[in-house]
Amino acid sequence: SGQPFFSVLTGDSSLRQRPMKRIIEPLRMMGAGLLARAGDTLAPIAVKGGGLRCIHFKSPVASAQVKSAVLLAALYAEGETVVEEPRKSRDHTERMLPAIGADIRVEGLRVIVSGGNDISPFEITVPGDFSSAAFFMVAAAIIKDSEILIKNVGINPTRTGLFHIMKRMGADVEIIDERNVSGETVADILCKYTEGLTATDIAPEEVPSMIDEFPVFCVLACRAEGTTTIRGAGELRVKESDRIAAMASELGKMGVNVTEYPDGLEISGPVNLRGTTLEAHNDHRVAMALSIAALVAEGGTTVLGVSAVDISFPGFYDRILELTG
């Protein structure tokens, strides 16, 4: 949107079903020309950029993707652009931009960018993805006699909600050798098998910091004593799949007592999961979460549609085989 040329952006089948109006609208407010499929709601998106103006945008959702789209466009807009969120979302973009010469400041739930500055060339070290580490953290916590040390993981506080929730549930998990790399906090994570996990309630304000970990957290909740409730997570219905419906459906097939709400789930445990045939719903995180559930299920489990995993973690099943033998 900030460049003076024409572009067309698209993606795979799952990305072409994700809502784009939430990004198109603020960029149009800034002066970009955008057209999209299905009444300007779905990709592909045609973009005619250049000549952007600053705006004050109040995002209706706590979404790092929406926020980052506006902040990056704001680099090419004259004046100050303000983005306000209802709750704090992931802040990787805000941490990176100062390193490349951007004039940016954070004031609570507001992020302000002054456009028109020259952007400097830079080098950055990208830490390991916490969302990818989460599958192995949960696996270690629920598979008897397991212990795993995951190195060089980004532990940005807007991303690590699952870690703190696991601690609250009694999991044996700890952060080791915390350090700063390219403006991000990085550490090693040690996780061990834990008996006697206890259920917990996930409040709406906790959801943004563990939004991507929801599928595998549901697997963890199946092994906890009591009823775990997740509310305020309606955003999960517009990910690569409807993750609320997907996890309710597939865990139900494994014998889990799941109650589905418009904005979350209620899961009763502990449950001895039952092996069966499951569907990944063309969603990489659902596929990986169900694969972790399969490791502790009684009998064989088949997960259909696991090719979706290649979107974010091409070596996932190789890692599983290395760890389980």
Residue 96 has pLDDT above 90, yes or no: no
Quick one: 141 and 83 in the same domain?
no
Look at the block and give the residue holding tokens 């085989």: 321
Which of 114, 138, 166 terminates a domain? The answer is 114
d(CA 116, CA 316): 42
* DSSP calls for 270-317: ----B--EEE-TT-HHHHHHHHHHHHTSBS--EEETGGGGGGT-TTHH
User: Does residue 165 form part of some domain?
Assistant: yes
**Cβ neighbours for 77, distance < 8 A, ≥ 6 positions apart:** 2, 30, 31, 52, 53, 54, 55, 115, 116
Domain termination site, one of 114, 146, 161: 114
Q: Are residues 92 and 150 located together in one domain of the fold?
A: no
Q: Read off the pLDDT band of 296 (50, 70, 90).
A: very high
Q: Which CATH number fits the domain that encloses residue 92?
A: 3.65.10.10
Q: Do both 16 and 77 map to the same domain?
A: yes
Q: What would the mean pLDDT of 83-88 be, rounded to a whole number?
A: 93
- Structural domain includes residue 121: no
Is the pTM of the predicted complex or chain greater than 0.75? yes
Q: pLDDT > 70: what percent of the chain?
A: 100
Give the integer Cα–Cα distance in Å for 25 and 30: 9
Q: Which residue has the higher pLDDT, 266 or 50?
A: 266
The answer, yes or no, to whether the previous bond of 204 is cis (omega within 30 of 0) is no
120, pLDDT greater than 80: no
Q: Each residue of 137-166: pLDDT tens digit?
A: 999 999 999 999 999 999 999 999 999 999
Cα–Cα distance, 192 to 56 (Å, whole number): 46
Of 90-94, 122-126, 238-242, the one with minimum mean pLDDT is 122-126
Domain limit, last residue, from 80, 114, 148: 114
Question: Whole domain around residue 107: which residue ranges?
Answer: 6-114
Q: Are residues 23 and 58 in the same domain?
A: yes
User: What's the mean pLDDT when you consider all of the chain?
Assistant: 94
Active site residue 103: no
pLDDT value at residue 116? 82
Q: Kindly report, residue by residue over 229-257, the tens digit of the pLDDT.
A: 999 999 999 998 999 999 999 999 999 99
Q: Are residues 135 and 272 in the same domain?
A: yes
Share of the chain above pLDDT 90, in %: 85
Q: What is the pLDDT of residue 72?
A: 96
Asked if pLDDT for residue 16 goes beyond 80, the answer is yes
Which residue out of 118, 212, 310, 318 is catalytically annotated?
212
Average pLDDT over residues 22-50: 95
Tally of structural domains, the chain: 2
